[in-house]
Amino acid sequence: MAQAHVPIEKIRNIGISAHIDSGKTTLSERILFYTGRIHAIHEVKGKDQVGATMDFMDLEREKGITIQSAATYCMWGDYNVNLIDTPGHVDFTVEVERALRVLDGAVLVLCSVAGVQSQSITVDRQMKRYKVPRIVFINKMDRAGANPFRGLEALREKLRLNAHFITYPIGAEDQFKGHIDLVTMKARYFDGDDGENVREEECPAELLGKAKEARESLIAALGDFDDVIAERYLEAQDPTVEELRNGIRKATLSREFVPVIMGSAYKNKGVQTLLDAVTYYLPNPSEKENIALDQNDKEAEVKLVPDVNKPFVGLAFKLEDGRYGQLTYVRVYQGKVSKGDFIFNCSTGMKKVKIPRIVRMHAADMNDVETASAGDIVALFGVECSSGDAFTDGKINYTLTSMYVADAVISLAIQPKDKTSTANFSKALNRFSKEDPTFRVHRDEESAQTIISGMGELHLEIYCERMKREYACEVIVGQPQVAFRETITKRGDFNYTHKKQTGGSGQYGKVVGYIEPLPADSAVTYEFVDDVVGGRIPREFISACDKGFQEAVKEGRLIGFPIVGVRVTINDGASHDVDSSEQAFKTASLMGFREAYEKAGAVVLEPIMKLEVSTPEEFQGSGMGLVNQRRGVILNSQTNEGFATIEAEVPLSEMFGFSTILRSATQGKGEFSMEFMKYAPVPRNVQEEMIKKYQEKRAKENK
């Protein structure tokens, strides 16, 4: 399909995001079908040999989940829609993060039975972080227990969104036939198996009263955003279709109003209405504010304008190592760029790169293009860079704010099974850590092991499997290791003198001060305060003190994990004219910190996960019992259409192998999702056990 050149007002860059199993990929598949991008519909799961277009990795097709975000583009009428389908599983949350960083609008998909789930809350938080206006699509209206009204209520209560129906359902479950468009007050029926026959009729008499009520509520809500509609409402006049659409658009772009549509992607109902809503109500690239930082003007904020005549500005937001080298996904914010042009990487000191090839992605397929203009999302070949790098044409030196990357919560020790595949092992780790900022690799010098860290068991399991498939490198996996932390609970003072005399000049440095806990809401994990007066420690050695303290917080004295939440204040000290040096003060600070740490009530912190277990009602008791056995704190439990949902806080260290145990306790019908919530102190008896094990391990290593 040749890419038609369309004006900026006709471009929509949207993402589809949701909780796992809400039907995002099925919805993307239907969008591609109805826009003529594909000519047959394939399913995500089941006997379909081809698999969904957007789940193009073998692993995705086997597991029936999305692992990587996939980009494509299509035309709906005369609108060009750039679409990114993102994973729902919390382990791959960085894929959602980077997609939302560059998109102008989003579709939040909810399941009509389950409503707002834990990952829906995370996705909503990400949309708010990047100021992305959204439409909600309540999917799976054909399922038993479908209830869009409950979904609307949950959007208002759990997500605190000003959400309103812009369509009203005609039936539900196996009686779901279509919906009433509350803007035109016409009923839309989707006939046939593929839903291509859309019938528009007058609103059915039995639903007219309820539809009018819903429309009234919609108009009242829009009055807060649009003066014309407010006037019509107060004068008890009916707004025109055009006025209503303008009002919904204005309200949606303000991000203080969310239009809600319902349908069934699997049964091909309501997808065309959603596409219309995307073109009517979501922003074009010129309506979303994008800010760059001018590196030549002390990082002054500059508003980017999606104008092809302005200097080029683009952001590399995702990298993939393909058969032909690195594929760099770029969002063009300003200006244009053509094949053969030279561009400059502002994040690496204006490094000059030539663009050999520009493609538009359709899942795994590539379509070559000569030029990419403001508002486009394309991929470049032959451009080596990191995720989050900004590019310009060299006339300006702008960078863009990077996306939020969560800390890893779980680690594994891995090694290649076969010594001959060591080269492939290194190649795979380099590639994966470059592509995925939440996948980290480091070497533990003490144990000489390679440690990989990530967002959860599934995250790391997928990478181990990919090493085997893509690099013919099987790995031996060690025990999962949780990312514990250490912190202090009270003030601890230090007064330490480092003195060493060996022939010639010696070493001398004295530091006095204290350490104390940082406030719970602090944005940093370590803070250094210099309160030294009267030159007791010469100025040139103050930074050495800071370095010594930073060295100390890297490894705690309880179980050897990093120390967080500490403020170090240095307020006195002494130096020697000859023997004082940077090294002397660095060592004095390191040892002074350790002295204070012993008095500061050190505790071990563990990652606490927010857990959501869903199980048939008859297994509710078993589900709660399993959570309690794992030191879990149950926050909420409710039943809904024969299913129980248990919400709890539970330590990550207790959750390994939970999926197997849950399945066997619920005859394979229970499922769960969890995401990182906070760090909290471990119980005293558990801490004592951990310290004992750590000391035994150290004693063995020192023998």
Tabulate helix, strand, coil % of the chain (nearest 5): 30, 35, 35
Which two tokens mark 490? 């009270």
| Least trusted range by pLDDT, from 495-499, 546-550, 652-656 | 652-656
Angle between helices 422-435 and 457-471 (to 10 degrees): 130
Per-residue pLDDT tens for 383-430?
888 778 889 988 888 888 777 777 777 888 888 888 888 888 898 898
Return the CATH architecture of domain 8-287. 3-Layer(aba) Sandwich (3.40)
Do the Cβ atoms of 465 and 59 come closer than 8 Å?
yes
363 band by pLDDT with thresholds 50, 70 and 90: low
Q: Residues 580-588: what's their mean pLDDT? A: 91
* Euclidean distance between CA atoms 549 and 546, whole angstroms: 5
* Euclidean distance between CA atoms 143 and 37, whole angstroms: 27
Sign of CA dihedral 51, 53, 59, 64: negative
2 band by pLDDT with thresholds 50, 70 and 90: very low
Tokens 């993102």 sit on residue = 86
* Euclidean distance between CA atoms 43 and 2, whole angstroms: 26
- In degrees and rounded to multiples of 5, residue 536 shows phi and psi of -60, -35
Nearest to 393 by CA among 340, 335, 348: 335
Residue 22 has pLDDT above 60, yes or no: yes
Nearest to 418 by CA among 471, 466, 476: 476
Helix (H) or strand (E) holding 152: helix 148-157
Share of the chain above pLDDT 70, in %: 91
CA 506 vs. chain centroid, Å, equals: 52
Environment class of 545 (CB within 10 Å of its CB; exposed 0-12, middle 13-18, buried 19+):
buried
In the chain, what is the straight-line distance between the N-terminal and C-terminal CA atoms, in Å? 68
| Least trusted range by pLDDT, from 15-24, 518-527, 568-577 | 15-24
Domain 489-593 has CATH 3.30.230.10: yes
Tokens 């619920």 sit on residue = 666
Residue 556 has pLDDT above 60, yes or no: yes
* Euclidean distance between CA atoms 112 and 641, whole angstroms: 11
pLDDT at 51: 42
* Euclidean distance between CA atoms 221 and 152, whole angstroms: 14
* Euclidean distance between CA atoms 239 and 232, whole angstroms: 6
Residue 298 DSSP symbol:
T
Domain 410-481 has CATH 3.40.640.10: no
Residue 38 has pLDDT above 70, yes or no: no
Q: Please check whether the two domains, 291-400 and 410-481, share a CATH topology.
A: no
| Least trusted range by pLDDT, from 60-69, 312-321, 557-566, 648-657 | 60-69
pLDDT at 357: 86
Query: What is the value of pTM for the model shown?
Result: 0.73
pLDDT at 50: 39
Residue 629 has pLDDT above 60, yes or no: yes
Share of the chain above pLDDT 90, in %: 33
Domain 291-400 has CATH 1.10.3330.10: no
pLDDT at 124: 87
Amino acid letter for position 353: V
Nearest to 15 by CA among 91, 78, 96: 96
Domain chopping of the chain, boundaries: 8-287, 291-400, 410-481, 489-593, 604-685
- The SS3 call for residue 78 is coil
Residues 6+ apart with CB under 8 A from 577: none
Average pLDDT of the chain to the nearest whole number: 85
- Name the fold adopted by 604-685: Alpha-Beta Plaits (3.30.70)
pLDDT at 408: 77
Angle between helices 118-129 and 93-102 (to 10 degrees): 30
Residues 6+ apart with CB under 8 A from 490: 516, 517, 600, 601
136 band by pLDDT with thresholds 50, 70 and 90: very high
511 band by pLDDT with thresholds 50, 70 and 90: very high
* Euclidean distance between CA atoms 123 and 412, whole angstroms: 27
Per-residue pLDDT tens for 177-230?
899 999 999 999 987 766 667 888 999 999 999 999 999 999 999 999 989 999
Per-residue pLDDT tens for 324-351?
677 888 999 999 999 989 999 888 888 8
* Euclidean distance between CA atoms 34 and 30, whole angstroms: 6
pLDDT at 59: 62
Do the Cβ atoms of 633 and 624 come closer than 8 Å?
no
Q: Residues 363-390: what's their mean pLDDT? A: 83
| Least trusted range by pLDDT, from 153-167, 207-221, 428-442 | 428-442
Residue 612 has pLDDT above 90, yes or no: no
Q: Residues 122-142: what's their mean pLDDT? A: 89
Q: Residues 50-79: what's their mean pLDDT? A: 65
